[in-house]
Amino acid sequence: MTLWEKAAAELLDIVEWTDESSDTMVWRFPRFDNEIKYGAQLIVRQAQAAVFVDRGEIADVFSSGQHSLTTKNLPVLSTLLGWKYGFHSPFKAEVYFVNTRNFTNLKWGTKNPVILRDQEFGPVRLRSFGSYVVRVSDPVKFIHEIVGTGGHFTLDDISEQLKNLIVSRFADTLAESGIPVLDLAANYNELSAFLTKSIAPEFLEYGLEVTKLLIENISLPLDVEEALDKKSSMGIIGNLDNYVKFQAAQAMESAAKNPGGDASAGVGMGMGFAMANQLGKILVTPQEPAAGGPPPFPREETESRYFVGENGTKTGPFDKHSIIGQISAGSITRETLLWKQGMTAWGKADSFSEFKPSFQATPPPLPE
């Protein structure tokens, strides 16, 4: 290699971008007066695109690879600058490198509760949060619609707008779905897919693509969750009268194992037994009327319990509210077989008068 060739190699103009950050979406190549030498080497790495801009007008776009910047490789810019016969001197152009990789684990969530009407609980307030993945699918549109003339554009510059867009469409999707609150957890995947499909066209207007969106949690207000916990506890306890008697028996057993306890402990335990005994008398179901007294009021007939038959399998029993919830969720259709005490044979769900209003009020399934 001659001395001149060596000097020419050292003066070779290299236009490239090595991204050391994790959130940069667009970076403008720094060059005094935007001057680039003829024959300069443009290096575009994987998950990058290089966009050339001349006087505010987007010209050529280069994908990954090494490119020699000549009139042959810059057809649009050559036309804009009027290079009819080519050139060999430096030229002026702004070069924007666009990061086209997936930006992962981006968070979204509702700042304020979403208010909707639930069939079982009535008006409820729900909060939700999740994550999403986004990438630049159209570098030209992204620069034109979002970046403008900024030399350094990061994810923080647009994330708030994207989150607001997701939350707005989530509230609309959740309200229109008609899914009961207690069945929402079983429909996270379906809601996520429908929400992704719903917001995709709006992201594309910015040159962006949502490659994945997840709903991680939908929650009730804290006081409502506490009330549900209490209701669940009552369901686990079952018969309150038997539970009180069991607690009293446990206390008596503990006292028998500790006969040497002090007098104050004995007095307190005795009072506890007396209260449990009185409470047991109040809660116990009367068997016979007192002599000479009026007969007891007739007890209301217990609520019907339903069994569900599908694919040769019987499940249940379920109460009326549970059946209505399954109808709303779509797991019980008009053709599903049901049976309750007093019936001689199984019947279709839509033949039960108590469930006909639920079938009329059930919304159609979410679109694919």
The CATH number given to whatever domain includes residue 214 is 3.30.479.30
Specify whether 342 is located in the same domain as 245.
no
Specify whether 119 is located in the same domain as 152.
yes
Distance CA 102, CA 257 (A): 66
Question: In the prediction, which pLDDT does 98 show?
Answer: 95
Specify whether 92 is located in the same domain as 117.
no
| pLDDT value at 287 more than 60 | no
| CA dihedral of residues 215, 220, 226, 231 (deg, nearest 10) | -90
Specify whether 108 is located in the same domain as 95.
no
> Which range has the worst mean pLDDT, 57-61, 127-131, 139-143, 246-250?
246-250
Asked if residue 24 belongs to a domain, the reply is yes
> Which range has the worst mean pLDDT, 51-65, 72-86, 237-251, 266-280?
266-280
The CA-based angle 43-33-16, given to 5 degrees, is 10
Specify whether 107 is located in the same domain as 219.
yes
Specify whether 211 is located in the same domain as 114.
yes
Asked if residue 29 belongs to a domain, the reply is yes
Specify whether 112 is located in the same domain as 158.
yes
Highest-confidence segment of 30-44, 80-94, 163-177, 300-314: 163-177
Question: In the prediction, which pLDDT does 233 show?
Answer: 67
**Distances from the Cα of 168 to the Cαs of 68, 161, 162, in angstroms?**
46, 11, 10
Region of 199 on the Ramachandran plot (φ > 0 left; ψ -120 to 50 alpha; else beta): alpha
| pLDDT value at 42 more than 50 | yes
Question: In the prediction, which pLDDT does 107 show?
Answer: 94
| pLDDT value at 302 more than 70 | no
Specify whether 54 is located in the same domain as 92.
yes
Task: Tell me the per-residue pLDDT of 134-183, one tens digit each, with 9 for 90 and over.
Answer: 999 999 999 988 887 778 999 999 999 999 999 999 988 888 888 888 88
Task: Tell me the per-residue pLDDT of 101-121, one tens digit each, with 9 for 90 and over.
Answer: 999 999 999 988 888 888 887
Looking at the structure of the chain, the number of domains it has is 4
User: Cβ of 165: how many Cβ atoms within 10 Å?
Assistant: 16
Structural domain of 273: 239-281
Greater model confidence, 282 or 368: 368
Specify whether 88 is located in the same domain as 129.
no
Contact 115, 70 (CB under 8 A): no
Asked if residue 368 belongs to a domain, the reply is no
Tell me the pLDDT of the chain averaged across its residues. 80
How is residue 170 annotated by DSSP? H
Question: In the prediction, which pLDDT does 263 show?
Answer: 45
| pLDDT value at 24 more than 90 | yes
| pLDDT value at 363 more than 80 | no
Residue range 20-27: mean pLDDT, rounded: 90
Closest to 115 measured CA to CA, from 158, 63, 175: 175
Contact 153, 25 (CB under 8 A): yes
Contact 146, 113 (CB under 8 A): no
End-to-end CA distance of the chain: 65
Specify whether 45 is located in the same domain as 121.
no
User: Cβ of 254: how many Cβ atoms within 10 Å?
Assistant: 11
Task: Tell me the per-residue pLDDT of 324-352, one tens digit each, with 9 for 90 and over.
Answer: 888 887 888 888 899 998 888 899 888 88
Question: In the prediction, which pLDDT does 300 show?
Answer: 43
Question: In the prediction, which pLDDT does 364 show?
Answer: 60
pTM of the predicted structure, to 2 decimals: 0.58
Distance of CA 257 to the CA centre of its chain: 54
Specify whether 114 is located in the same domain as 208.
yes
Greater model confidence, 229 or 239: 229
| pLDDT value at 272 more than 70 | no
Asked if residue 299 belongs to a domain, the reply is no
Closest to 147 measured CA to CA, from 63, 65, 207, 228: 207
Question: In the prediction, which pLDDT does 6 show?
Answer: 42
User: What sign does the dihedral 73-74-79-85 (CA atoms) show?
Assistant: negative
User: What sign does the dihedral 180-181-182-184 (CA atoms) show?
Assistant: positive
| pLDDT value at 49 more than 90 | yes
